[in-house]
Amino acid sequence: MKSIAIVSLCLPLFAAVPTMAEEGMSNVPVDGLHGSIGIGVGVRPAYEGADERKTRLAPNINLFYGDRFFLTGMTAGANLWRHTTAQGLKINAGPLLALRHERDEDDNDALAGLGDIDRSLDAGAFIRFRKDGWQARADIRKDVTNGDGGATVNFSAGYGMPVSQNLHLRANLETTWASAAYMNTFYGIDATQSANSGIAQYTAGSGFKHVGASLAANYAISREWVGFASLRATQLIGDVADSPIVTTFGSKNQVAATVGIKYRF
């Protein structure tokens, strides 16, 4: 448990507003440690489902060791299985660890009386497909440190292309399925929470929780310095969209944006 606590304390230093231009692997095989380190200013909902947004500084960390190990945002993993088909489709798969955000009832007035949700560590696996500028990815994650916090299965697909010598864009579509345990951890209202908050009890079932799209841009200022920006819009669906903290006190439409600068090596 001591090692888990250390991981939980360290990984937030690498958290960032997601930029889909970089998704967990280096595109060009390079020996040794390489990647980028930066800082951005992000605007995102106070909690997933909120209609109030907060502005925060967010480190932007994308580290790779060779073409096997990676640490991007709050996700670390290893490409243990790699294959290229005769048609040029590159497939990578392996294990991953991901830090799951906490939620404090002080984050927003709508959460008062619902209690805090502790940060936890998810473990799972991923598979990724790439060909030319196209990319698709799926992963499964299960809470392993915070009781039965549930599991998620995440899907994304997108296309990236250079617009000019210095500018690269990537568009992405995404969705997430979540177990009933996950849904009720973040969106359910049990008897105790109802009594403390005055919000009616609500039980959520498993299912898809959102669909979304994002656009990310990287602009090379010099060989080492890169400016980045991203815009992500999601719509909460299913039992998540019907939760009182969304329908009554929040919004099913969620928007997040970030802009910053990073140093690559």
Separation between Cα atoms, residue 24 and residue 26, nearest integer Å: 7
Compute the average pLDDT of residues 203-219. 97
Separation between Cα atoms, residue 58 and residue 85, nearest integer Å: 38
Compute the average pLDDT of residues 135-148. 93
Q: What is the pLDDT of residues 173-191, one digit of tens each?
A: 999 999 999 999 999 999 9
* Structural domains in the chain plus CATH codes: 2-264 (2.40.160.40)
- Which residues, in sequence order, are CB contacts of 147 under 8 Å at separation 6+? none
Q: What is the pLDDT of residues 196-210, one digit of tens each?
A: 999 999 999 999 999
Q: pTM for this structure?
A: 0.86
Percent of the chain with pLDDT over 90: 85
Locus of tokens 């599991």: 151
Separation between Cα atoms, residue 243 and residue 188, nearest integer Å: 7
